[in-house]
Every structure is written in C-alpha cells, then in structure tokens.
Amino acid sequence: EDQVTQSPEALRLQEGESSSLNCSYTVSGLRGLFWYRQDPGKGPEFLFTLYSAGEEKEKERLKATLTKKESFLHITAPKPEDSATYLCAVQAMNSNSGYALNFGKGTSLLVTP
Amino acid sequence: GAGVSQSPSNKVTEKGKDVELRCDPISGHTALYWYRQRLGQGLEFLIYFQGNSAPDKSGLPSDRFSAERTGESVSTLTIQRTQQEDSAVYLCASSGGAGLNTQYFGPGTRLTVL
C-alpha cells in the first residue's frame, strides 16, 4: 500500500533560521511527487513537482529535492509569511485511483519575527 | 483567468439531511478531482473525472456519496443522509488532463453536520 509520511508534524522557526521538512514515501512506482502550501481556511497552493531521483527545484526561499525514498523541502532564511502547512503528495504509476494524489498529513510551519 | 471555485464556502446541516457541493474547474481543464480533508488528517481522494470517460469512484467512502459532472464543466458532489463523521472540508481540484498535469485546488467547502 502506498504511504506518505511527513515530519515533523509541527515546526517553529525564528525568522532567518533555515531548516528542512521531510516527506518519506513508499509507492509501487512513482509517477510524480508534489509539494503544496496550505494557509488556514484555504485550498492547497501548488509549489513543485518532482519526477525522478536527483531532481531539484527552487522557488524563492524554497528548494525541493527528491531521492528514491524521500523528498526534502528546504527553507532558507524563512520569513513570517512562510508560515503555513506544507503538504507532500505522491502520484503512483499503478494507482487503483487513477491519477489521484496520495497526501501526507502535512507539516505546520510557524516562523516568528 | 479565474481559478477553481467552490460553493458554498460553508455549509451547516442537520444529521440525516442531504447536501450538494459545487465545483467550477479552471476553464479548459479536462480532469476534475474531489478530495476530503478531515481535521488532523491528510487529504483523502474521493472521485476523479476525465473528459467524457466513466468516473473513477474508487475513493467514495459509502453509497451515500455520489458525484456528477456535466461534460468538462461544473461538478456536483452529493452526500445523502449526512452523518457527523461527514464533517470535513471538501476540496475540488482540476488539471489540464490525466497523468502528470498539476492539480489546482479550489478554496474548499467546510461542511459541518450537527
């Protein structure tokens, strides 16, 4: 069974304090791994898609990396506006649910001034 | 240029009542997905529509849940005889097509069953 586990569940950082969020996954065949950001009361906002091990993508203070077993979302010098829940999801090659995404529970990030 | 829209944004209903939730996908997107997000849980897949193909209903939790889509436009998720465990945020997403295309989410409908 495909599984996505995110850690930590919650993370508190001071402004400027860099850190990484982890997404571990088991999937029969990875079609793609997705990162989303979700603010309270809103729908998930797309950040990145990674397709194969070794791939990296960057956007402002965020950088996502992928290995065969996990993905990291690195946050460099975070600002308070980076506070949100970050969701990781995988899309499996042979999913019984077509092209549906299988989500982790998310990491709630709080960045304090 | 609008994104995915959903209505209502909030719905409070009594146990046993039926509810209908609406999703307007991004114009031109052929694929549409419904997910459910319960408190403290990850998003759960419910149903997937791709063009005029038969929908993938494999995620629907019971026969009280059903969904329809008219062509490549609006979709309606219906929950009959609502139960308290149906309380959740119901999210709709659309993408340009099947496969790797990015799914863009709407703001969700928060359903509370009293």
Comparing CA positions, the residue from B20, B8, B49, B35 lying closest to residue B90 is B35
* Average pLDDT over chain A, rounded to an integer: 94
pLDDT in the model for residue A43:
96
What is the rounded CA–CA span in Å between residue A92 and residue A62?
24
Q: Is the pLDDT of residue B1 over 60?
A: no
pLDDT at B5 over 90: yes
Residue A1 pLDDT: 77
Residues of A in contact with B58 (CB under 8 A): 96-98
Burial (CB count <10 Å: 0-12, 13-18, 19+), residue B87: middle
In terms of pLDDT, which residue wins out, B59 or A99? Answer: B59
Q: Which H or E run contains A64?
A: strand A62-66
Size of interface A-B (CB pairs under 8 A): 69
Torsion angle, CA of B74/B75/B81/B85, rounded to 10 degrees? -120
Whole-number Cα distances in Å, A96 to A91, B10, B84, B85, B87: 11, 31, 28, 24, 25
Q: Does A109 touch chain B (CB under 8 A)?
A: no
| pLDDT score, position B100 | 57
Asked if B50's CB is within 8 angstroms of A42's CB, the reply is no
- CB neighbourhood size of B108 (10 A): 25
**B98 at interface of A, judged by CB pairs closer than 8 A:** yes
- Judged by CB atoms closer than 8 Å, whether chains meet at B104 and A46 is answered as yes
Interface membership of A43 toward B (CB under 8 Å): yes
Q: What is the pLDDT of residues B50-85, one digit of tens each?
A: 888 889 999 999 999 999 998 888 999 999 999 999
Q: Which of B55, B57, B54, B38 is nearest to B46 (CA)?
A: B57
Specify whether the CB–CB gap between A75 and A21 falls below 8 A.
yes
Q: Which of B24, B29, B45 to mutate to test the interface with A (most CBs of A within 10 A)?
A: B45
Which residue has 């499996």 as its token pair?
Answer: A92
pLDDT > 80? residue A54: yes
Find all residues with CB under 8 Å of A34, minimum gap 6, and list them: A46, A47, A48, A49, A50, A88, A89, A90, A91, A101, B102, B103
Q: Does A95 have pLDDT greater than 70?
A: no
Query: In this complex, which of B31, B44, B105 lies closest to A44 when CB atoms are compared?
Result: B105
- Nearest-Cα distance to chain A for B49, in Å, is 10
Are A102 and B59 a contacting pair at CB < 8 A?
Answer: no
State pLDDT tens for residues A11-50.
999 999 999 999 999 988 899 999 999 999 999 999 999 9
Interface test with A, best of B89, B103, B109 (most A CBs within 10 A): B103
- Pairwise pLDDT comparison (A97 vs A15), residue with the higher score: A15
Confirm if B13 and B112 have CB atoms less than 8 A apart: yes
Residue pair A52/A27 in contact by the 8 Å Cβ criterion: no
- For residue A67, the one-letter residue type is T
